[in-house]
Structure formats: structure tokens, C-alpha cells
Amino acid sequence: MLHHRPGIRFCQPLAPDRLLLRLKIGRREQQSCQVIYEDRGLKTAPMYAYARTPRYLYYQAEISLSRPWRCRYFFRLREGDGDDRYIFAGGTGQQGRPFTYQWTPADIFTVPDWIYDAVSYQIFPDRFYNGNPANDPPGTRPWSEAPTRENFFGGDLEGIQAKIPYLKFLGVNALWLNPIFAASSNHRYNTRDYLAVDPALGDTDTLRRLVASLHGAGIRIILDGVFNHTGTDFFAFKDVVARGAGSPYKDWYYFYDFPVRSEPRANYACWWDIPSLPKLNVRNPEVRNYLLHVATYWLWDAGTDGWRLDVPNEIEPPFWREFYQQVKGTNPEAYIVGEIWRDARFWLNGRYFDGVMNYLFRDLVLAYFARRLFPISTLDMLLGLVRLRYPEAANFALLNLLGSHDTARIITAFQEGLAGVPGHSGSYAEAVAHLRPALILQLTYPGAPLIYYGDEVGLTGGPDPDCRRTMPWEPRDWDRDLLNFYRCLIRLRHQLRPLRRGFFQPLFTDDQAEVYAYARRLEGEKVIIILNASDLPQTVTLAAAVAGLAEDSTWRDGLSNRLLEVKGGQISLPLDANSGAVLYQE
């Protein structure tokens, strides 16, 4: 089986003079691939494993050209017996017609450059820190009380500004704030006014000061855009309630008849049949223009850095095409990320967004590390198949999350998962231990890792509203070992450029030992990551030939700070149970 064809899975332009190529072949031992391409003569580039299934292996190469926009190439496959096979556009043989690929600027999928380097942090504003008690809404509850769907705790924008030193201490450099616009609820997904900051959080000047302070600290900020629905106190909906069919805003929503009623059943379309969340009609040009004004207003007025889009799959796609154009026209480096829980090929291959919230990554992490639903080789395979779905630049713009305001806290999810695994109890300590190799994966994997506030200090909680507890600010309430582990991984990601921008290369899996090794490679640099997901300590041996390690080369493990040397064609390192290593050369 040998397969290659021009198309997003096998051929992607990265720049006017850079091209990514892939080849799918039957999986065998001791095989290697090269791409041979025309560039003022014939040149050769090595190909590296990129994704694997039990039967097939995808090889990948990235080539640079002296002349842009066009490339002619073919492949050479070397089997274990030393024989070479050549793959041309018309088939295999010693001679043939090369593949030809031409591209234009429109074919290059680009994302904001800063997202490659981002370590993101999600904040639910009401629960992070109360920086100004004077703006607390009536009935604000004591900080450590249990959350409900209705109560407020007084967190605000000044509270976020006050905790910028903590964000720097943690190491994050991008924030996503849950909705901050005027609304009656603590979650603020029922917008009353898109052009005003909720008074319980501050005002527009407060937001401007926060953005300026964050930017001064090297931290980006994206806002949560809720454009599918509003609250019932939004001006247009209120007008229709008051004036019925005579309202000039009656076509801003989907009303079935008049007068407007919400009980016993709403006579208008609403999100998930929740009467307090009436659905906007974005096909209406007036609605569309209003929302597009909102989209650009906060970029230029407050200087925000992009949008996280709530339930974008419930809005007609042409709106998002126009949204993308308007936002990028205002700030080409603005980041647009959609809340898509499943396969996002339609949204990314269609270039509606830069990235999506990578819930597929979360699902796979939980399925293996917390529930042991399949062997670790299957985890490698499924991660690879997800990577193959999207443009490579989009893979770097995915928000790789383990938890959010819509899910149980990650430690709680691990507790629940492990409680169903034979021989495990689901205790807090056990959950944190099993979380460690998952965190190594999250912080060393392509894409922007997203940390939900409080996860780094051991905050627990079940589904909404329990996952929205207040952030503990007394250090005695923190899991300091876990916090230090997060900080170490974040520091390594900032320190080692291949962890942020390098291409993924699977090295090996061992299902019995529960070991997974992979590399991130970039322009001759390489970082090797080894995960021991076993409950037992063990010594892992990595063959130098598999990882491309030079004999007598020295590697440092960024987690333990040990120095390791390649001897006898291999490198060996002892690993604790549920741990790992991040190897790099100094």
C-alpha cells in the first residue's frame, strides 16, 4: 500500500516557498522514506513518521524551495532488505512522472503567530478574585461557599488585574475570559448589552486598563462571543415583547406568533428550549451587521486579541465567513477559536476559524489515562488520526483542554474514571498521580494548552455548577506539588522552541509497559518525550536509531534535571510510576 495525492491530508503549502508532504505506506519494520524534489536540480529531504495505525504509517517531510508556488517531487521508499522503491504520480518503478503541486496565497492556512507560543488560561470572572467589593451585585455570597447556578461571588476585572503577578508566576501568556458583557446571570451567556461591560465586573475603562496591563505583562486576552442567542432583557427582544408584531425588531428572532410568551412553552426559538435564551436570526442583515460591529468594536476599542465563539455550529456558516473577514480585517493577528466538541473538519478546512476547542483531545486523554479503555498504542493512533484531519497550522491553533466551565474538573473526572478501573480507588492522590503523564502530554503536544483556572492548585468539582467553584487564594489550600509540576512543564514549553512549534513524530509505544515515546522536531532541533503511564517504576530504553540520536550525545531531562548519554546505540532512563521525561540537548 503506497498512497499520495495532492490534498489536505497529503500536501499542504506552509508558505510561498515551503511545502508539507505526506506519504501513506504499509507498516513494516526497518523502512525509511525520502522525498526527492526539483529545486535547481534534484534535492532530497528525509521523511519522518507522523501518524500510525496498526496497518499503515504516514510519513511527513517539510521542504523549502528557492522558487515559490510550485514543486515537482517523487518519493523513495527503502525497505529493510535495502531495496529502493520509487513512487511517482503514475505508480511505482525506477522512472516515472513526478507529482506536481502548485499553490497560491489563498491555499496557505495561516494562524496568528503568537498562538504557537501560547499557554492559555481560562477564567470564569465571577469566581477568580474580587478586586473591587464596591461593584458586588446584591446578595454576593462569601468566597468559599458552594456555587449554585444563581449565586454571585464578586469576582471582577479588577480582581484579574490584581492577580497578574500570579499569572506570570504560573507562566501563562494568554487568557480566555468567559462572557463579561452586561447580563443578569453569573455566567453571562444571556447577554443584555454587547457593548457594555457588566457593572458587577467593572466598565469599559476597567477593561481597557486590564488589557493594557496584560499586554504589558506579555499576556494576550480573548473574549467569549455569544452570538447565537441573547437574554430576554436585550433591547431588541424587550421591544418585541412590548410591541408585538409592530416592533421593528420582530425579525431579529424566530417568533412563531404574537404576543410573545415564555410559558408554558416559549413561542419563539431558543437555545436548547431555554426560554431565557432566545435565538437570534443572523440571516437578518440588521442582526448580522450589529453582531459584526460588536466583533470588531472590542478589538479596536479595548485592544483585545480575539474571540472564543460560543456554540458556533448553531449559526449558519456564511455568518462566520463574514465574521472572520471582519475580525481579520481589523486585526490580522486576532485569534478566532470555535467551541466545537466533535470533528471540526468542516470549520477548519473551510477556514471559518483559526482553531477549535480540542475536546477530542480531552476525550482521548480521559479514555486512556483515567479509564484505561484501550491500550496506549491506540491512544497514539487516535491522536494521529485527529491530526490528519486538519491543516497542520490549525493543529497548532487548537486549544488543548482537559477541563472547562462545561465539564467536571479534571481531577474529579480522573477520580470518577479510576474508580471504575480494577485495582484503583479513585482517591484524590491516585487521580493526581495518573494526571501527571497526561499533563506532560498536554504541555508537550502540538496546539495551545489550556488550563482551567484552579486546576493547577488541585481544585475539584463535578459538572456545572460545581466545576465553577471560587479560586482558592490561601497557599495552604493549594496542592503545591501539583502547582510546581504545572510550572515546570510550562517553563519547559517556553524554554524549548520545538515544544511550541515543532512537528510531531511518534517514536514507539509499549502496551504492556504502558510507555509512549514521541518527539517534537524543528529545524534540526529535537525534543524527546517519554511517558510512563504505568503504576510501576521502570527503566525505559530508547533505541538511538528510532529517535535519530547520535552515539555519545548527551541529553538532559527537563523534569528531573538528570543528564543521560547515548551508549551502545541506546539511551536508558529510570522513570517513576506515572511520570515521564522531556529530553533535550543544551
Residues annotated catalytic, as ranges: 310, 339
For 114, residues 6+ apart whose C-beta sits below 8 A from its C-beta are: 174, 220, 305, 333, 335
CA distance 330 to 328: 5
Helix (H), strand (E) counts: the chain: 15, 29
Residue 239's CB is within 10 A of a number of other CB atoms, namely 16
Residue from 160, 143, 286 nearest 219 by CA: 160
Strand duo 56-64 + 18-26: pairing = antiparallel
**Cα Rg, the chain, nearest whole Å:** 26
Contact predicate 356/346, CB 8 Å: no
User: Residue 63 carries which side chain, given as an amino acid letter?
Assistant: I
Contact predicate 122/178, CB 8 Å: yes
Task: Please name every residue paired with 86 in a beta bridge, in sequence order, or none if there are none.
Answer: 76
Output phi, psi for 31, to 5 deg. Answer: -125, 155
Residue from 47, 18, 191 nearest 110 by CA: 18
Burial letters for 350-379: b for 16+ Cβ neighbours within 10 Å, e otherwise?
eebbbbbbbbbbbebbbbbbbbbeeebbbb
Residue 246's CB is within 10 A of a number of other CB atoms, namely 10
CA distance 133 to 154: 7
Contact predicate 84/367, CB 8 Å: no
